[in-house]
Amino acid sequence: MQPYAERRARALDAFRGDVAVIPSARIAPRNADSDFPFRQNSDFFYLTGFDEPDAVLVLAPEHPVHRTILFLRRSDRVQELWNGPRLGVDAAAGRLGIDAAFPIDELAARLPDYLCGAQTLAYALGMDETTDRTIHAAIAAAHARTRQSGRAPRAIADPGGVLHEMRCIKSAEEIALMRRAAEITRAGFVAGMRATRPGLHEYDLRAILEYEYQRGGAQGVAYESIVAGGDNATTLHYVANRARLEAGTLVLIDSGCELDYYASDVSRTWPVDGRFTAEQRAIYEIVLAAQTAASAQVAPGIARNVFHETAVRTIVEGLIDLGLLSGSADENIERETYRDYYMHGTGHWLGLDVHDAGRYRGDDDRPVAFRPGMVTTVEPGIYVRRDTAGDSRFAGIGVRIEDDLLVTHGGHENLTESIPKAIEELEAIVGSAVGARA
């Protein structure tokens, strides 16, 4: 549990003078007697490595005895018979390396003691109504106890100001997990490429990718896989994944595995029948050039808006060359006419969440600069919807190419570089599985 203890120590230093309360996730009912698969709150997991619901971590830097306290479920033989073992209160402190552990049903009674003496409570309001009520009652009780002397929190602040900045810089252990997640994701994409042929359905490719994720040891997907054939690729978050794959069209897949809570996030686009048409090739080459140019701007000290602006300019110039935009590049960028074809940002932080924690602008409202240890996606795209196509030859073509880049001291490392994306690579591999070629 050493990485988690180190993170808690850093958080305690950052929250000095305050108290932080970080709840776990709760089990969410799906329907009737069925629940959604449990997925731990990322901030809570980052600090504890504890994978059970109905728990709360308290960080009390100024407390004379307990600085790290966990409230969790009691052992329950009957519940464990149905749902699996629990860590239990007695084993928690020793197993997790915290100062004290108490039953979760004692949170309301014990929390005011830890709040006494604090100036601010670091707690994310609005995530869970039940916990919010407990927090407000605990603050009131703490104030009642300190009415004559001492102090209690008079403000509530989001702990993300501390924790999310910590999470934005990945440790060696986190980077190793993300490299492995990228390798597993590569296996899924390559298997999907090899199996692709006209007549399959989008769900066939989804099943192939996600089978390889599970086979590689991942616990599941980092988000709902997008498998978008033909016109479906022009819908950014298409997740129906039910349509038939037709010859002469492209399929856009945006998917990634989750390994030990760490995400991979990759997009590739390839021809269903293994050969790009001239129009598909033209759009694809623009997106690939934009991704290459944008990726070159991912390095320490470079403001993160630069890679987006680089991608935008490359795409605008390409669309002008194709006749889908007219006028100068500067005019189109200023008027944002390109947003008919490219309407999203070029990347986001990646880590415990697929859209990971961390600010994009600093306190001065300027874009943050890349620092070693950050991981960002780079994912330009072009989407020619039929209702906006300036040239019918390109109507229905959607292309996105996305990689995961780790910022290093010397530049960056592309964690997903080995997943084929060059046109020649794709045409060689798509449909190459036995019997897949038409």
CATH code where residue 133 lies:
3.40.350.10
- Read off the pLDDT of each residue in 26-44 and give the average, rounded to a whole number: 95
Tell me the per-residue pLDDT of 306-327, one tens digit each, with 9 for 90 and over: 999 999 999 999 999 999 999 9
Q: Which two tokens stand for residue 224?
A: 């709902």
Which amino acid type is present at position 350? Answer: L
- Is 437's pLDDT higher than 60? no
Has 379 been annotated as catalytic?
Answer: yes
SS3 331: helix
Domain-terminating residue out of 138, 166, 194: 166
Write the DSSP assignment of 286-343 as a string of letters: HHHHHHHHHHTT-STT-BTHHHHHHHHHHHHHHHHHHTSS-S-HHHHHHHTGGGGT--
Evaluate whether residue 369 is within a structural domain: yes
Within a domain: 435: no
Q: Which of 210, 231, 254, 356 is catalytic?
A: 254
As a three-state string, the secondary structure of 191-220 is HHHHHCCCCCEHHHHHHHHHHHHHHCCCCE
Is 71 within a domain?
Answer: yes
User: pLDDT value at position 148?
Assistant: 62
> How far apart, in whole angstroms, are the C-alpha atoms of residue 301 and residue 371?
7
- Options 179, 344, 385, 393, the catalytic residue: 344
**Are 320 and 177 in the same domain?**
yes
* Same domain? 303 vs 421: yes
Helix (H, G, I), strand (E, B) or coil at 176: helix
**Tokens representing residue 392 in the block:** 């019918």
Query: Rounded distance, CA 110 to CA 126, Å?
Result: 22
DSSP assigned state of 338: G
Which residue in 8, 63, 167, 348 is the catalytic one? Answer: 348
**Within this chain, do residues 243 and 146 fall inside the same structural domain, yes or no?**
no
pLDDT above 90 (res 29): yes
130 and 37 both lie in a single domain: yes
Q: Shortest CA distance to 55 belongs to which of 97, 111, 103? A: 103
The answer to whether residue 387 is catalytic is no
CA dist., res. 118 & res. 153, Å (int): 5
Say yes or no: 255 and 380 in one domain: yes
Longest dimension (CA), the chain: 83
Q: What is the mean pLDDT of residues 23-43?
A: 95
Q: Which of 135, 166, 197 finishes a domain? A: 166
| Domain around 101 | 2-166
Mark which of 142, 166, 190 sits at the end of a domain.
Answer: 166
Evaluate the CA torsion angle 372, 375, 376, 377 in order and state its sign: positive
- Residue 8: in which H helix or E strand, if any? helix 2-14
pTM reported for the whole predicted model:
0.96
Judged against a pLDDT cut of 80, whether residue 49 lies above it is answered with: yes
**Catalytic residue selected from 33, 129, 364, 365:** 33
Spell out the long-range contacts of 358-364 with Cβ–Cβ below 8 A and sequence spacing 24 or more. 358/164, 358/165, 358/167, 358/168, 359/164, 359/165, 359/168, 360/304
Instruction: Give domain status of residue 434, yes or no.
Output: no
Same domain for 204 and 113:
no
Q: Are 272 and 250 in contact (CB under 8 A)?
A: yes
Sort residue 265 into left (φ over 0), alpha (ψ -120 to 50) or beta.
Answer: beta
Q: 195 and 89, same structural domain?
A: no
Same structural domain for residues 161 and 173? no
Q: With bands split at pLDDT 50, 70 and 90, how would you rate the model's confidence at 412?
A: very high
Q: Give 120-145 pLDDT, tens digit per residue.
A: 999 999 999 999 999 999 999 999 88
Catalytic residue selected from 355, 359, 385, 393 = 355
Active-site annotation holds for 211? no
pLDDT at 149: 61
> What percentage of the chain exceeds 70 in pLDDT?
98
Could you tell me which of 397, 339, 389, 383 has the C-alpha nearest to residue 236?
383
Q: First vs last Cα of the chain: how many Å apart? A: 53
Q: Which of 168, 172, 162, 165 is nearest to 12 (CA)?
A: 162
Residues 196 and 145 reside in one and the same domain: no
Residues 151 and 278 in one domain: no
Annotated catalytic, 18?
Answer: no
Q: Is the pLDDT of residue 438 over 60?
A: no
Residue 115 near residue 153 (C-beta atoms within 8 A) = yes
Any catalytic annotation for residue 33?
Answer: yes
Instruction: Give the pLDDT confidence of 197-237 residue by residue, as tens digits.
Output: 999 999 999 999 999 999 999 999 999 999 999 999 999 99
Kindly indicate the confidence band of residue 118, based on its pLDDT and cuts at 50, 70 and 90: very high
385: pLDDT confidence band, cut at 50, 70 and 90?
A: very high
381 near 356, Cβ under 8 Å?
no
73 catalytic, yes or no? no
The total of other beta-carbon atoms located within 10 Å of residue 77's CB is 7
Rounded to the nearest integer, the mean pLDDT of the chain is 96
Assess if residue 382 is contained within a domain. yes
Q: Which listed residue (204, 400, 404, 412) is catalytic?
A: 400
Based on the residue annotation, tell me whether 355 is a catalytic residue of this protein. yes
- Which pLDDT score, from 0 to 100, does residue 359 have? 95
For the chain, the residue count is 438
The HSE-up count of residue 205 (CA atoms within 13 Å, CB side) is: 37
pLDDT over 90 (residue 390)? no
pLDDT exceeds cutoff 70 at 345: yes
Q: Say which of 4, 338, 341, 383 is annotated catalytic.
A: 383
Does the structure show a pLDDT above 60 at 411? Answer: yes
Catalytic residue among 52, 212, 258, 379: 379
User: Is 90 exceeded by the pLDDT of residue 1?
Assistant: no
Q: Which pLDDT band holds residue 435 (cuts at 50, 70, 90)?
A: low
Choosing from 210, 212, 353, 402, the catalytic residue is 402
| Residue 93 maps to a domain | yes
161 and 21 together in one domain: yes
For residue 191, tell me if it sits in a domain. yes
| β-strands 220-221, 257-259 pairing | antiparallel
Average pLDDT over residues 353-368: 96
Per-residue pLDDT tens for 140-176?
Answer: 999 988 776 678 899 999 999 999 999 999 999 999 9
Concerning whether 265 is annotated as a catalytic residue, the answer is yes
Nearest to 257 by CA among 221, 227, 224: 221
CATH for 229: 3.90.230.10
In a domain, 437, yes or no: no
* 210 shares a domain with 317: yes
The number of distinct structural domains making up the chain is: 2
Among 357, 413, 436, smallest CA distance to 197 is for: 436
Question: Which of 133, 151, 215, 237 is labelled catalytic?
Answer: 237
Tell me, yes or no, if 66 is annotated catalytic.
no
* Annotated catalytic residue within 265, 273, 353, 356: 265
